[in-house]
């Protein structure tokens, strides 16, 4: 039973650490009509981006909702955003994939939808909220799962999009015309659903190896596994609504390989070499990620059959991340620190201490963040997000290609 318990515990701790909310000061500048007009010419006919998701792409919505507590309070200021002049609500030292994608498309950075100071959503809007779930709070509550940080589930984000369309267009046909010139990003989202399910069944302190805790861990695993089909249906259902409204280019990302992320690896603290795959990642955790991704890709294939005229791309975050690990030295990363957070207080192999996360007293920042993949043990550095963007949208890890960039 020890082996089974270790596997279940490793899955548990990984999913308990699914990317958490980030909260920060407002960005110092807003996109205006003037700045939008000065943007470079649109690439491949795309004039706007609409983004839905969680902390991997939130550029300031949770900040404006408020309510972050505990260790999350440390992300409200530097060193978050240190590469771009200050904390803006992005869970990194700088820009995210959604920012780099907007730049590559010649568009202004997306304004968070909840930014009341933004006076122009001509080139799209960002609806992502850190800590958000794919399923709404009521649906999760029926399973005994509470949502602690935000109620801005995917359904809420989708409604906000519809509200924006109602306020800025005069007819469904005008919405269709706008979406025909837009790129729509549905996720990554869903990891927090699993996170909160595991949190509801976390082991009692002081008895990690007793039968009671084994039972709780097993319950958490079963409940998280049971959520996967519903999470996938929520994501593909949102995509279906957007396609019905006229979207012609939709990107649906999969999950990262959880077993390669420093916070998960540190928490598991697995000493058995057999628990690791050829990339040095925890195989059990990556198996869970792959299960989600396989079901998601099946749902995407069904969408493609229903909407043959649309381009519906699967953004393979899993294998793009693995490629980034394998090619770390070629893209400027320190090959000896690919699983070590730049900002933290844990020291050792991973530099992760969940009680003293980045920004907490005692935490420090590495001398060269651009040489690290992980920023805080959960989220990536600006450099890593740049590399991921290149892999996904310039090197074929998002397929079929949602955008045709000119080759340099």
Query: Any idea which residues carry the catalytic annotation?
Result: 55, 376, 379
Longest dimension (CA), the chain: 64
What's the alpha-carbon Rg for the chain, to the nearest Å?
Answer: 20
Cα–Cα distances in angstroms (integers) from residue 291 to residues 192, 288, 363, in the given order: 16, 5, 35
Strands (E), 112-168: 124-126
Contact 353, 361 (CB under 8 A): no
Contact 251, 184 (CB under 8 A): yes
Closest CA to 202 of 192, 188, 212, 193: 212
Strands (E), 18-130: 48-52, 124-126
Contact 402, 311 (CB under 8 A): yes
For the beta carbon of residue 178, count every other beta carbon within 10 angstroms.
Answer: 20
Strands (E), 26-123: 48-52
Cα–Cα distances in angstroms (integers) from residue 348 to residues 14, 93, 226, 262, 353, in the given order: 19, 21, 35, 11, 10
Q: Which residue is it, tokens 């993949």?
A: 373
């Amino acid at each position: 039973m020890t082996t089974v318990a270790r596997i279940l515990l490793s899955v548990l701790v990984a999913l308990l650490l699914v990317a958490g909310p980030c909260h920060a000061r407002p960005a110092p500048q807003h996109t205006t009509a003037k700045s939008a007009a000065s943007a470079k010419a649109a690439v491949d006919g795309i004039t706007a981006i609409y983004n839905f998701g969680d902390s991997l792409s939130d550029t300031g919505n949770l900040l404006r909702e408020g309510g972050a507590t505990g260790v999350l309070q440390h992300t409200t200021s530097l060193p978050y955003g240190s590469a771009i002049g200050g904390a803006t609500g992005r869970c990194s030292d700088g820009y995210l994939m959604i920012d780099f994608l907007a730049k590559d498309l010649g568009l202004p950075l997306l304004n968070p939808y909840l930014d009341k100071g933004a006076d122009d959503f001509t080139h799209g809007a960002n609806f992502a909220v850190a800590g958000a779930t794919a399923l709404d709070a009521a649906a999760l509550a029926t399973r005994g799962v509470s949502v602690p940080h935000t109620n801005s589930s995917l359904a809420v984000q989708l409604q906000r999009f519809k509200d924006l369309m109602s306020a800025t267009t005069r007819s469904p046909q005008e919405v269709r015309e706008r979406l025909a010139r837009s790129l729509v990003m549905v996720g990554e989202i869903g990891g927090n659903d699993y996170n909160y399910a595991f949190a509801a069944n976390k082991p009692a302190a002081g008895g990690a190896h007793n039968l009671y805790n084994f039972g709780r861990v097993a319950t958490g695993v079963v409940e998280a596994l049971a959520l996967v089909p519903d999470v996938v249906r929520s994501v593909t259902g949102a995509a279906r609504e957007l396609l019905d409204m006229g979207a012609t280019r939709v990107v649906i990302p999969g999950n990262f390989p959880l077993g390669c992320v420093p916070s998960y690896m540190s928490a598991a603290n697995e000493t058995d070499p057999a628990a690791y795959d050829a990339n040095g990642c925890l195989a059990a955790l990556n198996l869970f990620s792959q299960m989600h991704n396989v079901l998601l890709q099946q749902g995407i294939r069904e969408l493609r059959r229903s909407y043959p005229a649309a381009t519906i791309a699967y953004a393979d975050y899993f294998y793009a991340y693995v490629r980034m690990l394998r090619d770390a030295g070629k893209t400027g990363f320190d090959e000896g620190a690919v699983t070590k957070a730049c900002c933290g207080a844990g020291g050792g192999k991973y530099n992760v201490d969940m009680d003293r996360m980045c920004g907490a007293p005692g935490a420090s920042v590495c001398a060269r963040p651009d040489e690290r993949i992980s920023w805080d043990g959960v989220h990536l550095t600006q450099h890593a997000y740049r590399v991921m963007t290149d892999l996904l949208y310039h090197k074929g890890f998002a397929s079929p290609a949602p955008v045709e960039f000119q080759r340099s």
